[in-house]
């Protein structure tokens, strides 16, 4: 019993220490002067690595999810003769919840894990240590552009996801199931608010971008420098960032749309 | 050469993000900015019951949206519901004898305030009250009446 | 000023409960090649990390040219490290940069030289390690020996006062080991820099070093000129240098009696 309590306490302390290390990493990576010697090339390369490479999975999943939403929504709504509200249902679901959340989960799986693995590999092959010996702070040169790139890329990916998903829903709803295109769009436009729905979705995506890349970069730096260590760190990135995204989504939804 | 292709693809990526956002803003939200930002004036109306009307519900004339409900509260003296509405500035044809009624869009649709314009010379200005109102029809009451009438006949 | 480039005094470092280095006193004479030998896991790499101040000691001081580097702050360390070069065990070339850019990396960071001069300097160093023709290759395209030589060119590009070699000969075929050995010697003579070689490869190391330390379990068990250490009477030193399977370092991991473990008693 006592040893169980002790173990619980130790786990708690480990978790607290982990949060501390992650916080220190973020602070050290973000604070401090911008080093122009690195130029914009590093950020561009990371945007390419994190953003452009994630585009395919985001677009394909977006179209499919939009199509499924339209199909499911239609079968429910048509019973009440309210299938013209399909556009409203699909767009609100996507903009408020599904878009940012699913895009963030895909982003964690695609880009987050790749970031962790890349940084972990750099650590294992002593590249980070070599940077330190050359006199470069790896937090500034490795962590900072990756964090920035993730934070920039995530809102973009989420909006692209929303767009292709709505287009996918149009494809199924209008072209296949025969919902009137005019009422589809006008219903959507009447119920979607720019500030409330579109912008809150952007804010959510931004917040998720911060959390997912932060976890990914931190896990990379914190990985045991062994092949095994990299693989556990990669797994941890995906698990932790998915959980963090879902938990934050609930919090943000409660703040943004909750009863006041 | 390799860095150039990266620059191009990242540029295209960011451009795609802008396209997606403008699509959402223009095509999906129909660019309906928050109401407070538009030029409006305030009208109010008292109803016996608002039954289901909510803030941000539409205010319509002949089926065209001209404003939104901003607040619903109760008047402690008359114990009637007071509905405050923000009406677009360019709507300057609401006469003093207009009739405000609460209606429902379709059987399951949302409730909105419909204003029927009268023939008076006086035009309503900011802060005025619409005198003539018709309260919301409450389905339960209707059914109740119908059942009692039906019972009486027998 | 003393004749030592690096002086370690009472250096202690432990990881968790395990003491890795136990109050070491080591002097690294300036301009000489000093070898630190010892079996795997005796804390040699940790020692280099401590001198490079990537790790902080629990106790003791590390003097580099008179400055105690274990007391410096993070940003001061980055400045100080420009005077040190380190060849990592795996080479540690940056995988996203070509060989040329890898070698040019420290120059671009720490100097404002014009591009043409950077090019010349990089080509001189690449020529010295025999990889002038491989400048446009990516690290993934290099063999193990080549990437270590490219990393060596990077380590010496700023003409450091101190170069540390972490297991330079490990996993190299005899030709490359020989090439590397000659390179280390030539760099030492040409640049007059201080060298520390950490290794368990006795033959290659002894042939070029001026002074030797033998480490075991975090302590110094032998030191002196290579000849003197090779002929040492100390049993532990002899076991390590001659590669005897059993001796003060036992072959068997501590275990209960063999016969009783096999439960042969009743028979």
Query: Average pLDDT in the A171-181 region?
Result: 86
Cross-chain residue pair A80–B108, CB shorter than 8 Å? yes
Mean pLDDT of chain C: 82
Structural domain harbouring C89: 4-247
Q: Does A231 touch chain C (CB under 8 A)?
A: no
Tell me how far apart the alpha carbons of residues C189 and C211 are, in angstroms, rounded to a whole number: 15
The band of B35, judged by pLDDT with boundaries at 50, 70 and 90, is very low
- Does B150 reach chain A within 8 Å, measured CB to CB? no
Average pLDDT over residues A148-153: 92
Q: Is A52 on the interface with B (CB under 8 A)?
A: yes
| DSSP letter (8 states) at residue A95 | I
Q: Does position A164 have pLDDT exceeding 50, yes or no?
A: yes
Compare C143 and C243 and report the one with higher pLDDT: C143
pLDDT value for A105 = 95
What would the mean pLDDT of A228-243 be, rounded to a whole number? Answer: 94
pLDDT on residue C241: 76
Q: How confident is the model at residue B1 (pLDDT cuts 50, 70, 90)?
A: very low
pLDDT of residue A163: 93
pLDDT of amino acid C176: 80
Residue C256: inside a domain: no
Q: Do chains B and A touch (3 or more CB pairs under 8 A)?
A: yes
| Mean pLDDT value across residues C232-249 | 75
- pLDDT-based confidence at residue B38 (cuts at 50, 70, 90): low
DSSP letter string, B70-105: EEEEEETTTTEEEEEEEEETT----BTT-EEEEEES
For residue C107 the two structure tokens come to 């120059």
A45 inside 8 A of chain B by CB? yes
Measured CB to CB, residues of chain C less than 8 Å from chain A are 49, 52, 54, 74, 78-79, 81-82, 84-86, 88-96, 105-106, 108-110, 151, 154
Neighbours of chain A (3+ CB pairs under 8 A): B, C
**pLDDT reported for residue C155:** 87
pLDDT digits 0-9 by tens, C145-161? 888 888 888 888 888 88
Segment B11-32, tens digit of pLDDT = 888 889 888 888 888 877 776 5
Using an 8 Å Cβ cutoff, are A166 and A91 in contact? yes
pLDDT per residue as tens digits for the range C51-73: 887 888 888 888 888 888 877 88
Question: What are the structure tokens assigned to B128, written together?
Answer: 């005025």
Question: Which residues from A are below 8 Å from B25, CB to CB?
Answer: 194, 198
Helix (H, G, I), strand (E, B) or coil at C28: strand
Q: Using a CB–CB cutoff of 8 Å, tell me whether A57 touches chain B.
A: no
CB contact under 8 A, B30 and A95: no
Which residue reads 């939104």 in tokens?
B68
pLDDT for the residue numbered B106: 64
- Preferred mutation among B15, B21, B35, B54 to probe A, highest tally of A CBs within 10 A: B21
- Mean pLDDT throughout A36-60? 84
Distance from CA of B90 to the nearest CA of A (A): 20
pLDDT at residue B36, as a whole number = 46
CA-closest candidate to residue A203, choices A249, A150, A259: A249
Residues 28-87 of B with CB under 8 A from A: 28-34
- CATH number of the domain that C224 lies in? 3.40.50.300
Residue A36: pLDDT over 80: no
Q: Do B106 and A47 touch (CB under 8 A)?
A: no
Residues 166-185 of A with CB under 8 A from B: 166, 185
Going from N- to C-terminal start, the domains of chain B cover: 1-31, 35-138
Query: Which residues on neighbouring strands pair with residue C166, listed in sequence order?
Result: C198
Integer-rounded Cα Rg, in Å, for chain A is: 21
Residue A37, pLDDT score: 60
Percentages (nearest 5) of helix, strand, coil residues in chain C: 40, 25, 35
Kindly report which listed range (C3-7, C176-180, C249-253) carries the lowest average pLDDT score: C249-253
User: Which residues of chain C lie closer than 8 angstroms to A14, CB-CB?
Assistant: none
C50: left (phi over 0), alpha (psi -120 to 50) or beta: alpha
**Residue C170: which residues within 8 A CB-CB, separation 6 or more?**
C89, C199, C200, C201
Phi, psi of C30 (to 5 degrees): -70, 140
Contacting subunits of C (3+ beta carbon pairs below 8 A): A
d(CA A198, CA A167) in angstroms, rounded, equals 16
Tell me what pLDDT residue B109 has: 65
Confirm whether the ipTM is greater than 0.85.
no
Whether pLDDT at C267 is above 60 = no
The answer for residues whose C-beta is within 8 angstroms of residue A228's C-beta and 6 or more apart is none
Cα radius of gyration (chain C): 21
Which residue of chain B is at minimal alpha-carbon distance from A40?
A: B7
Best-predicted range by mean pLDDT (A135-144, A216-225, C209-218): A216-225
Confirm whether C253 is domain-assigned: no
Q: Give the pLDDT score at A255.
A: 87
Average the pLDDT over A57-66 and give the result.
Answer: 94
pLDDT band at C177 (very low <50, low <70, confident <90, very high): confident
Q: What is the DSSP letter of C82?
A: G
Mean pLDDT of A80-87: 81
Cα–Cα distance between B95 and A68 in angstroms, integer? 49
Q: Do B16 and A156 touch (CB under 8 A)?
A: yes
Is the pLDDT reported for residue C6 higher than 70? yes
Q: Which residues of chain A does C151 touch, with a Cβ-Cβ cutoff of 8 Å?
A: 130
Strand partners, C86: C164
Average pLDDT over residues A163-183: 88
Q: 3-class SS at B30?
A: coil
Is residue A124 over pLDDT 80?
A: yes
Note the pLDDT of residue A100: 93
Residues of chain A in contact with residue B10, where contact means CB-CB under 8 angstroms, are 44, 47-48, 51-52
- Write the pLDDT tens digit of every residue in B109-147: 677 888 888 888 788 888 888 888 877 777 777 777 777
Identify whether the C-beta of residue A130 lies closer than 8 Å to the C-beta of residue A123. Answer: no
Residue C264 lies in a domain: no
Question: How many structural domains comprise chain C?
Answer: 1
User: Is the confidence at residue A169, as pLDDT, over 80?
Assistant: yes
Tell me the average pLDDT across A122-149: 86
CB neighbours (10 Å) of residue B139?
A: 12
Q: Which of A152-156, B127-131, B147-151 is predicted least confidently? A: B147-151
Residue A109: pLDDT over 50: yes
In the prediction, which pLDDT does A259 show?
Answer: 57
Taking residues C229-234, what's their average pLDDT? 78
Which range is most confident: A188-202, A219-233, C78-92? Answer: A219-233
């Amino acid at each position: 019993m006592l040893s169980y309590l002790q173990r619980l306490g130790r786990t708690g302390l480990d978790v607290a220490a982990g949060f501390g290390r992650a916080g220190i990493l973020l602070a050290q990576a973000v604070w401090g002067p911008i080093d122009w010697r690195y130029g914009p090339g590093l950020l561009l390369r990371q945007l390419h690595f994190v953003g452009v490479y994630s585009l395919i999975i985001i677009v394909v999943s977006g179209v499919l999810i939009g199509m499924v939403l339209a199909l499911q929504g239609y079968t429910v709504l048509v019973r009440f003769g309210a299938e013209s509200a399909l556009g409203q249902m699909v767009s609100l679901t996507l903009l408020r919840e599904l878009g940012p959340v699913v895009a963030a989960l895909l982003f964690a799986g695609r880009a987050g894990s790749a970031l962790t693995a890349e940084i972990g590999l750099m650590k294992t092959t002593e590249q980070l240590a070599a940077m330190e010996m050359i006199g470069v702070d790896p937090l500034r040169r490795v962590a900072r552009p990756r964090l920035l790139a993730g934070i920039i890329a995530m809102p973009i990916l989420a909006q692209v996801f929303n767009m292709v998903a709505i287009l996918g829903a149009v494809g199924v709803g209008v072209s296949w199931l025969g919902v009137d295109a005019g009422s589809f769009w006008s219903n959507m436009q009447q119920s979607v608010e720019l500030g409330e729905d579109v912008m809150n979705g952007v804010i959510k995506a931004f917040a998720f971008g911060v959390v997912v890349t932060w976890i990914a970069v931190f896990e990379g730096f914190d990985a045991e420098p062994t092949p095994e260590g990299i693989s556990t760190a990669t797994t941890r990135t995906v698990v932790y960032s998915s959980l963090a995204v879902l938990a934050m989504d609930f919090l943000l939804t409660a703040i943004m749309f909750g009863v006041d | 050469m390799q860095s150039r292709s990266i620059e191009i693809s990242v540029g295209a990526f960011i451009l795609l993000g802008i396209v997606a956002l403008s699509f959402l803003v223009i095509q999906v939200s129909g660019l309906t900015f928050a109401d407070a930002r538009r030029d409006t004036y305030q009208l109010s109306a008292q109803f016996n019951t608002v039954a289901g009307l909510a803030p941000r519900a539409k205010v319509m004339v002949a089926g065209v949206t001209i404003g939104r409900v901003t607040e619903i509260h109760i008047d402690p003296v008359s114990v009637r519901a007071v509905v405050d509405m923000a009406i677009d500035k360019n709507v300057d044809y609401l006469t003093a004898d207009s009739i405000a009624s609460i209606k429902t869009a379709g059987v399951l649709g949302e409730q909105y305030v419909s204003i029927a314009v009268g023939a008076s010379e006086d035009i309503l200005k900011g802060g005025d009250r619409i005198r003539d109102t018709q309260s919301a029809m409450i389905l339960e009451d209707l059914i109740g009446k119908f059942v009692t009438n039906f019972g009486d006949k027998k | 000023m003393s004749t030592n480039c690096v002086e370690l005094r009472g250096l202690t470092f432990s990881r968790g409960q395990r003491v890795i280095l136990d109050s070491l006193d080591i002097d690294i004479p300036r301009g000489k090649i000093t070898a630190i030998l010892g079996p795997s896991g005796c804390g040699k790499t940790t020692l280099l990390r401590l001198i490079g101040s990537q790790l902080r000691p629990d106790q003791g001081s590390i003097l580099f040219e008179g400055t105690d580097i274990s007391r410096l702050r993070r940003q001061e360390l980055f400045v100080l490290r420009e005077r040190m070069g380190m060849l990592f065990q795996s080479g540690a070339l940056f995988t996203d940069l070509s060989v040329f850019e890898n070698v040019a990396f420290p120059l671009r960071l720490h100097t404002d030289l014009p591009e043409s001069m950077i090019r010349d300097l990089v080509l001189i160093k690449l020529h010295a390690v025999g990889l002038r023709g491989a400048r446009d290759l990516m690290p993934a395209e290099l063999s193990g020996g080549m990437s270590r030589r490219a990393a060596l060119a990077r380590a010496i590009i700023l003409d450091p006062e101190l170069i540390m070699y972490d297991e330079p000969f490990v996993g190299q075929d005899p030709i490359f080991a020989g090439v590397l050995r000659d390179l280390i010697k030539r760099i030492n003579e040409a640049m007059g820099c201080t060298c520390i070689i950490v290794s368990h490869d006795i033959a290659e190391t002894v042939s070029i070093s001026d002074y030797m330390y033998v480490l075991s379990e975090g302590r110094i068990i032998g030191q002196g000129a290579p000849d003197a250490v090779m002929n040492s009477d100390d049993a532990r030193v002899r076991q390590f240098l001659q590669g005897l399977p059993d001796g003060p370092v036992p072959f068997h991991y501590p275990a209960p009696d063999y016969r009783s473990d096999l439960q042969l008693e009743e028979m």
